[in-house]
Copies of this chain bind each other. A is one copy, B any other.
């Protein structure tokens, strides 16, 4: 078989001054054509870069004529000689900018229709729907391919790191069974057993615990996960977890393993040194101080509790909240005294969707506090307030009163809103935090029933085990989250390996033996055959890559993503099944028409 004519000696990004006078072959896409002073210049592009081709009519009129036909996105192969550009023509923005290629032969491999948007300039804003419809062109533009390269590199670092620590990469089934993860499963009808369905896994949780029972000792997987939920903008129906589980280790080992792994990822992918160990905070402290379990620590402005100060004041409006089991928390906005009355009103409107029906405020000036609520406080109280809030001249204090959960949610959002407005967020900084001691249970607001906050296999804190029977809502668990810049990056826990404790947890959840058996009977059975103590963690890979790529759009880090309606605009999926397929599955369903345009 002969060598194909389009075979390359170099890619479009690699030629340098040291290659001058070399005979080379290149293939790629026409990025731009410029006709200039009788010469034709073609910027030839591939994944690796761009290189300038020159067609000189004095050298070959035929070639020059051929080159004049070239249009953007045509695929061509050329051979030619590398030459110097001349000092004043050097393009410092291009890695190949010191050279050009004098073309001696040209092969047009594929012509191209005019693309629906510009490929060569990916700074031009194109509607995302159009980009998704022609995703193959969107990827070709450059920034998506760059993100895919970062994703590739991060995965390479992760795998090498975990392999070097004796972790075994094991794939677990995708045609699986519903497991108690809380979200809605995607179902797959069985043809052999009509009316029965597989479920796509929401996570490999059950499998990875079974692998520990199997003695695999250390496991990881780059695991595809699926949730059929109404999608927020940073979610996808299929997403990827770096799923890790280990036996006979403690949470300190997991923290340190993850910290070292992230250090390597950030170093290799971004050449950034992150500092370890990461700080830690209990869930309680976190909620108290930031109103959220995933605080953005790139700036301060903590929530400060003022219950006692308000109680001692004459501020009756807020005192009423305290009497109704509410709380009062405030933030101190550095240099916030510059905000106008209109801006402060804007903050008040900002928190109202979170059910905070107002904010009290004071400005600290050289003359002391000013605002129409100062009158409710004695001088002593104001001093106490000033100290507690660490208020300095020109600061603004914003005070909220309501039920804990409402104050926390509203002030968390407000804190981030103001930080953005004040430009306090250093986008090049990564502030990691371990949040520990999550509550074991929470109350379902609609049913008022207890539910597992993480999952029912999470180990409760040893000292809280007696509370399982008396006051389960007070039970803390050995669950931990890794948070960075306001996002949950990973979450995990120590699992229960003691059958008595497992039973107490099921009792607290009011699960009857029948329910347990139906939901995860085989798993409970498995745990009876000698379960090692084990724990694990799962990273949201897409979130990690978003962080590395500095994008807020999850679709920017996935090759072929879906829309918020879980559809693929390029393939036009989902779609009507082939004729007869549903009959084979013994399924009946009326098709609704999807309008793709």
Contact string, A556-593, partner B, CB cutoff 8 A, digits 1/0? Answer: 00111010011110111111111001001111111110
Contacts of A1-58 to chain B: CB distance below 8 A:
1, 3-4, 6-8, 11, 27, 29, 45-48
Q: Within 8 Å CB of A526, what residues of B?
A: 134, 136
Contacts of A160-205 to chain B: CB distance below 8 A:
163, 168-178, 184-200
Contact across chains for A187 and B189 when beta carbons are under 8 A apart: yes
Contact across chains for A589 and B1 when beta carbons are under 8 A apart: no
**Which residue in chain B gives the minimum CB-CB distance to A529?**
B112
Knowing A1-B252, A115-B529 touch, does A190 contact B574 (C-beta < 8 A)? yes
Contact across chains for B533 and A4 when beta carbons are under 8 A apart: yes
Q: Within 8 Å CB of A559, what residues of B?
A: 170-172, 207, 211
Knowing A136-B213, A171-B240 touch, does A571 contact B6 (C-beta < 8 A)? no
**Most chain B CB within a 10 A radius of its CB, from A163, A193, A562, A591:** A193
Counting CB contacts under 8 A, is A370 at the interface?
A: no
* Number of identical monomers bound together in the oligomeric complex: 2
Knowing A47-B216, A590-B586 touch, does A574 contact B250 (C-beta < 8 A)? no
The complex places the Cα of A176 from the Cα of B207 at a distance, in Å, of 24
Contact across chains for A532 and B581 when beta carbons are under 8 A apart: no
The complex places the Cα of A589 from the Cα of B228 at a distance, in Å, of 20
The complex places the Cα of A45 from the Cα of B497 at a distance, in Å, of 18
Knowing A176-B573, A594-B193 touch, does A216 contact B148 (C-beta < 8 A)? yes
Knowing A193-B574, A214-B140, A574-B198 touch, does A562 contact B75 (C-beta < 8 A)? no
Can you name 17 extra interface pairs (CB under 8 A) apart from A8-B248, A27-B247?
A: A75-B533, A112-B529, A112-B530, A148-B170, A148-B216, A149-B168, A156-B169, A159-B159, A176-B573, A177-B568, A177-B573, A184-B191, A187-B577, A188-B200, A189-B574, A196-B591, A197-B574
- What are 18 A-B residue pairs whose CB atoms fall within 8 Å in the complex? A3-B252, A4-B248, A6-B532, A46-B217, A109-B533, A113-B528, A136-B214, A148-B168, A156-B169, A159-B159, A177-B571, A184-B584, A194-B589, A194-B590, A195-B589, A196-B591, A199-B573, A588-B589
